[in-house]
Structure 1
Amino acid sequence: MSDADTASRFVPAADGLRLHYRDVGRGAAGALPVVCLPGLTRTTADFDVLAAHLAGGGAAGPPRRVLSLDYRGRGGSDHDPAPANYSVPVEAGDVLAVLAAADVPEAVFVGTSRGGLIAMVLSGIRPGLVRGAVLNDIGPVLAPAGLERIRGYVGRLPPPRDWDDAVRTIQGYAGAQFTGLSAEDWLHFARTTYVERDGGFAGRYDPALAEGLRALDPSKPLPVLWDQFAGLSAAPLLVVRGENTDLLSEDTAAEMLRRHPDAALFTVPGQGHAPLLTDPATLARIADFARRCDEARPEASAAPSARLY
């Protein structure tokens, strides 16, 4: 894959806000594109390794076109002057705007945390769009302990002084979650979390995102999303769960597999919320799943030679 096969693109949202996405690879005939949706404060940078793996072909299967999105207020997308628009319904609409501009009528979705919630919503409002879903450490029920931990650091941490300080900062809130990372992994984690700007360091998201988290009342039960999850039942599902996660419980993961007719669970050892999707085993598992989704498409199922038995 050449540099010419990788591009940053910008499209307007329905309200005119400028949205950024990364477009990697050209994709082989018959290979579904993959759309990557990041977590609450995360960006397209989280998927650079996965995108290169899937777009490169070879052992990963047929080369794929991979799109990864920055929601409004994150990465290269414009900040929204109305923080109330930092919501799953609005961001789902933004995803649809990007896919329309990119001419992607169907895809395999990889949704990390909030991205998985958006994938569930999309499956309900646009049947046929989601031809397969990888839910990365997210489900219809959120464990309160994990949500409280996230509330404790989003928008609350001082900017780091240098990359070593950035690593220490992340280890402070995620060290117990990620017990199997190397020094190189931690530096990668830091570089996808912060950006050097104007001689200093900054997060890759609008701090106003924290307002939505602070508005949650910890004394009240969190809403459950089993109805939205049911929208994914028409396509294969891969649940990726961090071994040390505090957001997706074992019971919720098991119930997801029980309710879905074509689901599998993949546990990432030594990682928590949310797995980084950069280790060889996880990359290979997602590539295998994408091939499974190619075969499961209605057109592929109808062809006598679509699968070997």
Structure 2
Amino acid sequence: MAYQEWGDPHNPRVLVCVHGLTRVSSDFDALATSLCDTYRVVCPDVVGRGYSGHLANPAFYAIPQYVSDMVTLLARVNAEQVDWVGTSMGGLIGMILAAQNDSPIRQLVLNDVGPALDPAALARIGTYVGDDVRFATRDEAVAYIRAISDSFGPHSDVQWDKMAGDVLRQNPDGSWRRHYDLRLSQAFANATPEALKAGEQTLWAAYDAIQARTLLIRGAESDLLTPETAAQMQQRGPKAALTEFDGVGHAPMFQQPEQIQAVKDFLLAK
């Protein structure tokens, strides 16, 4: 598994930041830079994404595999206790890990994700995850990423260029493609209403078992994490504190100062 690090590699105070479904570790560059004086910050590319390898069997692109990989990562970086920031999928991984007995997670930040995921939002994401689109130029590729990522909220052209560039790779023929294994989409294709319901029950059970101090961040216009689910998360399990950002959907990207500050204020309060 590929990962990036910031800060003193001997610092026992470790922060793990894990990205969303089709994103990469570089999503956390700004946040990591802001926190690396206090933490050793470790940001992995989840298997099948970025500079990590691909799985032979795409059926294993699922949360149990990702949790297992993260346990291995924590052992590799020799981290007995960590704080965790997880965007979307990265939050689900953190949720399951935080629910374990003697979990290494001390503080948990869930970025626009919870145990109940809106089916229409999942369907929206599923419409583009598996598309094998190629682009003649980098500008075309950046425009495409920007269009499908509009729910990230307002960003400068420079920020959009970086966020798009982080998830693009150039082919030998000079064309451009997205960075990840397109077979990730099979999980969406195979998801039935019954499977989604069972998954939600499992995630609520995990959430209710979390002992870590928890912050829930929500884009006020998010279609994945509904206000109703966010309200339940404030009342159940770790009784998460809630911070919302106006003008943002799924999901806040920790590029803006106020988003970074919200995470810093929470993590450094203890």
Q: TM-score, normalised by structure 1?
A: 0.80
**Correspondence for 1:208:** 183
Q: Which amino acid in structure 2 is aligned with residue 226 of structure 1?
A: W
Matched, 1:99 2:74: yes
Runs of at least 5 residues in structure 2 that lack an aligned partner in the other structure: none
C-alpha contact 1:27 1:33 (8 A) present in aligned 2: no
Q: Which amino acid in structure 2 is aligned with residue 238 of structure 1?
A: L
Offset, 1:178: 3.9
C-alpha contact 2:18 2:91 (8 A) present in aligned 1: yes
Matched, 1:75 2:57: no
Offset, 1:100: 0.2
* C-alpha RMSD of matched pairs (Å): 2.0
Which of the numbers 12, 16, 22 marks the counterpart of 1:41? 22
- Structure number, greater radius of gyration: 1
Distance, in Å, in 2 between the alignment partners of 1:106 and 1:221 is 31
Distance, in Å, in 1 between the alignment partners of 2:111 and 2:40 is 20
Distance, in Å, in 2 between the alignment partners of 1:27 and 1:279 is 26
- Deviations, residues 149-182 of structure 1 (Å, cap 9, x unaligned): 100000215123333212321243333x244222
Matched, 1:22 2:4: yes
C-alpha contact 2:107 2:214 (8 A) present in aligned 1: yes
Offset, 1:283: 0.8
Q: Which amino acid in structure 1 is aligned with residue 232 of structure 2?
A: E
Which of the numbers 211, 223, 246 marks the counterpart of 1:269? 246
Runs of at least 5 residues in structure 1 that lack an aligned partner in the other structure: 1-18, 58-62, 296-309
Flag the 1:209–1:68 CA change in 2: closer, same or farther, 3 A. same
Flag the 1:261–1:44 CA change in 2: closer, same or farther, 3 A. closer
Question: What's the secondary structure of 1:35's corresponding residue?
Answer: strand
Aligned residues: 266
Distance, in Å, in 2 between the alignment partners of 1:81 and 1:243 is 38
- Deviations, residues 48-79 of structure 1 (Å, cap 9, x unaligned): 11111110x3xxxxx21000111211111111
Matched, 1:90 2:65: yes
Q: Which amino acid in structure 2 is aligned with residue 211 of structure 1?
A: Q
- Deviations, residues 166-203 of structure 1 (Å, cap 9, x unaligned): 2321243333x244222223222211221234323221
Aligned ranges 1:30-179 → 2 under 5 Å: 32-55=13-36, 57=37, 63-175=38-150, 177-179=151-153
Offset, 1:92: 0.3
Matched, 1:185 2:159: yes
Please identify runs of 4+ aligned residues in structure 1 that moved more than 6 A: none
